[in-house]
Structure 1
Amino acid sequence: MSEDADNEDRTEDPTQRKLDQAIEKGDIARSQEIGTFFVLCGFTLALLVGAGWSASSAALSLRSFLMNAHQVPSSGEAFFNVTKQGVMTGFMALGLPFAFILCAGLAGALIQHKPLWTFEPLMPKFSRISLMAGAKRIFGKEAWVNFAKGLAKILLIGTAVGLTLWKEHDRLESFAQMSVAAMLPATLSLTIKLMASVLALFAVIAIGDFVYQRFSWYQRQRMTKQELKEEFKNSEGNPEVKAKLRQIRAQRVRKRMMAAVPKATVIITNPTHFAVALQYEQGMGAPLCLAKGVDALALKIREVAGEHRVPIVENPPLARALYATVDIDEEIPVEHYQAVAEVIGYVLRLKGRRA
């Protein structure tokens, strides 16, 4: 029940990081039927390419040994040499078929996934020796799927082999009357026909199993909402921490702006919303924005400016435009030069009159 409930909670698609971590641990989608299909292909190819040569080589060596068996000394060293020669002959006869089968098996593994080196599957896990976990493996969903798959393979392949042999039943009756030399090619031909029918059927089984294994693997990697949140925190950072950092940065910028307001030449405001503090001195290329704010921050800028007797000029369109186009410690855009120059000129003239 707990496993079913856990699976029901896994409603979210896995992230790419989750899939990569599973692969790094050796948990990949692998179909045994694909490997078996490639091994059968290698065996069939070995029959087509090397069966005649291997049989001829083995028959020649065996004939030579039987014809000269009476000349073989009975000492231990001679017996060792005869045994070694027999092993070498067997290796030469079977080496090519085994090479085809080995290469086909490797190809079946590589076509499903690139080479992966990990010791994670070899690490001891107490869950593997748990009676409950063992019972789930034996009577669980995957066990029933494997049982049904094995039964289907037996029925389908047995049917294919039976139909192929039934078509050749007249030929099978003549095998008893054939010589050994004639029986070997006939047996090879019949075996290749059997393998062709088996491979055609096994290709469908292998493709279906591969699709199922990929689907099953992807379902195993699905995540709960909590796991997805933790994944986001680990990869993108904790949203609460990021919000706190933004708040700290905003506070530092605000303190720096408030400290720069007394140096401003003029404060251009919209009385109810915006405030922009500008500084201009002789030799500067263009006025510089020292501070800007909206609503409560704009009110604070006006208060600090009033405390330090910085001129405040109300110009709502210019205040809104400057707030939207200029950042802190940047010169004002060229399109606002004329309007700002008129304001600063007015302020300077006003200061001159006061002086």
Structure 2
Amino acid sequence: MSLQLDLQFFAGEKTEKATSKKRTDERNKGKVAKSQDVNTAILLLFSFIILAVFGTFMKNNMLALYEYTFTEYIHWDVTTNTIVQIFKEVMIQLTKIVAPLMVIAIIAGIAANLLQVGILFTTEPLKFDLKKIDPIKGAKRIFSIRALVELLKSLFKIVFIGVITFAIIWIYKDEMMMQSLKSAESSLSFFGMVTMIMGISATIALLLLSVMDYIYQRYDFEKNIRMSKQDVKDEHKNIEGDPLIKSKIKEKQRQIAMRRMMSEVPSADVVITNPTHYAIAIKYDEIKAIAPIVVAKGTGHLALKIKEVAQAHKIITVENKPLARALYGSVEIDDAIPENFYQAVAEILAYVYQIEKKVN
């Protein structure tokens, strides 16, 4: 009893790598190895690069909008038409300013997802599921090992990136203290530069952390989709089909094929026998084929059935042991006989036609 329980335990233990079908099923459900940190890091990196490249363009357009507002719009009468016009013009200018950043952000977000999971479209995660709002399962997720790992990861990211940004501030602390003696434009330029350095440095650090997180997510995903030996057997059985069901299907197919074959025997011209072990029913229709065709064949019990049907329908039976054996082994049902049998079969058919002519 104890040994049986141990075997059942090991059979249910998930020790096997997931099969390709299991991976496909999980992917169709939207379950893939993915790190949100990779998306965030790539998005921030591209955003800061765009700010560095288009920063001057964005600044000039914002200043132009500011100047135009206080030199032109401020003198306009407040009416419905002027407000609508101001709103349209301001929105167009703001769109021009943020368009490069928004376009690159969208491209970066799509690229980050494609980099991790490839092309994947599924509505499975959007389906309503009562299990998702189960308070007990929700509490288990909150206090699970995975939740603890995610908390520690978040704390580590905050500390790690915080140390990097503080280190950059510490490097430029003396110059920051001197900005009170410089012009506003110079101070803004300096703080903008420091902010860009902090942002890019923090983003690179986050990118390195995201690579580590992605490796962990893949490990955790592979662990969660592992299968037990029984799961693998069940999947294989489902793919290949239950052996019992398959055998029944094959038996049914054999029965259908046999009935179809037996229904062709009455149309045969002759049945060549062994005399008891083999039976080959041959039909010759010069309009449909250039050579005689085997419409039925069998050995043992099936050979007896073919002869019984032939006798019931007054089909002539001819005994020819070598020919019956040779035809059975070399010709399939509904196939024409090979050329090397033409002479022997032609002689038998001629004999049959003579007998039929005498009878008629």
Return the TM-score normalized by structure 2: 0.69
Kindly indicate whether the alpha-carbon contact (under 8 Å) linking 2:271 and 2:279 is maintained by their aligned counterparts in 1: no
Q: Secondary structure at the match of 1:324?
A: helix
Match of residue 34 from structure 1: 38
Please say if 1:313 is aligned against 2:330.
no
Is the 1:265–1:280 contact (alpha carbons within 8 Å) kept by the matching residues of 2? no
2:196 matched to 1:192? yes
Give, in angstroms, the shift of residue 6 of structure 1. Answer: 11
Output one character per residue of 1:131-185: Cα deviation in whole Å (capped at 9) or x when no partner: 3211221122431331232233224323433444444444444344433222222
Q: Deviations over 1:70-122 (max 9, x none)?
A: xx79x998xx97xx78x94994796357525455445434554447363x434
How far did 1:196 drift?
3.0
How far apart, in 2, do the equivalents of 1:53 and 1:252 lie? Answer: 80
Q: Distance in 2 between matches of 1:7 and 1:55?
A: 64
Match of 1:95 among 77, 94, 98: 98
Task: Please tell me the residue identity of whatever aligns with 2:121.
Answer: L
Change (3 A) 1:150 1:96: same
What is the match of residue 275 of structure 1? 279
Contact 2:293 2:335 in 1 (8 A): yes
Deviation at 1:56, TM superposition (A): 5.0
Identity among equivalent pairs (%): 29
Contact 2:272 2:324 in 1 (8 A): no
- 1:25 and 1:121 in contact (8 A); partners too: yes
1:143-162 alignment runs, 5 A limit: 143-162=147-166
CA–CA distance in 2 between the matches of 1:282 and 1:176?
111
Give the letter for the 1:325 counterpart: S
**Alpha-carbon shift at residue 5 of structure 1 (Å):** 10
SS of the aligned residue for 1:311 comes to strand
Q: AA paired with 1:205?
A: L
- 3-state DSSP class of the match of 2:162? helix
Tell me the equivalent position of 2:6.
none
Q: Which moved more, 1:25-34 or 1:91-100?
A: 91-100
Q: Distance in 1 between matches of 2:11 and 2:51?
A: 50
Amino acid in the other structure paired with 1:338 = Q
Task: Please tell me the residue identity of whatever aligns with 2:130.
Answer: F
Give the partner amino acid of 1:188: G
- Give the 5 Å matches for 1:153-232: 153-217=157-221, 220-221=224-225, 225=230, 229=234
Counterparts of 2:95 and 2:310, CA distance in 1: 99
**Conserved in 2, the CA contact under 8 Å of 1:279 and 1:289?**
yes
Kept in 2, the 8 Å contact 1:42–1:103? The answer is no
Q: CA deviation at 1:36?
A: 0.7
Letter in 2 for 1:335: N
Residue in 1 aligned with 2:53? Answer: 49
2:139 is equivalent to residue 135 of structure 1: yes
For residues 181 and 96 of structure 2, the distance between their equivalents in structure 1, rounded to whole angstroms, comes to 27
Residues 18-76 of structure 1, C-alpha deviation per residue, up to 9 Å, x if partnerless? Answer: 5555555544444211221122123312431333344455567768989x9xxx79x99
5+ long unaligned stretches in structure 1: none
Unaligned runs of 5+ in 2: 1-8
Asked if structure 2 preserves the Cα contact closer than 8 Å seen for 1:38 and 1:104, the reply is yes
**What one-letter code is carried by the residue in structure 2 that aligns with 1:336?**
F
Which of 323, 327, 348 is the matching residue for 1:322? 327
Distance 1:157 1:123 in 2: 37
User: Structure 2 vs 1, CA of residues 11 and 285 (structure 1 numbering), >3 Å: closer, same or farther?
Assistant: same
Q: Is the 8 A contact 1:264 1:290 kept in 2?
A: no
> Aligned letter for 1:288?
I
State the alpha-carbon separation in 2 of the partners of residues 259 and 333 from structure 1: 24
Contact 1:270-1:320 within 8 A present in 2 as well: no
Relative to structure 1, the CA distance from residue 108 to residue 15 in structure 2 (aligned partners, 3 Å threshold; closer, same or farther) is: closer
Q: Distance in 2 between matches of 1:337 and 1:25?
A: 62
- Paired residues of 1:50 and 1:96 also in contact (CA < 8 A): no
* 8 Å CA contact 2:276, 2:303 repeated in 1: no
Residue 261 and residue 230 in structure 1: after superposition, are their counterparts in 2 closer, same or farther (change >3 A)?
A: same
- Partner Cα distance (2:252, 2:215) in 1: 52
By how many angstroms is 1:314 displaced? 1.3
Residue 289 of structure 1 and its aligned partner are, at CA, apart by 1.2
> Are the aligned partners of 1:46 and 1:96 in contact in 2 as well (CA < 8 Å)?
no
Write the letter of the residue equivalent to 1:47: L
TM-score (norm 1): 0.70
Structure 2: which amino acid aligns with 1:135?
A: A
SS in structure 1 of the partner of residue 320 of structure 2: strand
Structure 1 equivalent of residue 297 of structure 2: 292
Change (3 A) 1:194 1:319: farther
1:349 is displaced (CA, Å) by 8.6
Change in 2 beyond 3 A, CA 1:65/1:322: closer
The one-letter code matched in structure 1 to 2:131 is S
Q: Could you say if the C-alpha distance between residues 7 and 27 of structure 1 is closer, same or farther in structure 2, counting changes exceeding 3 Å?
A: farther
- My pick for the range that moved more, 32-41 or 123-132, is 123-132
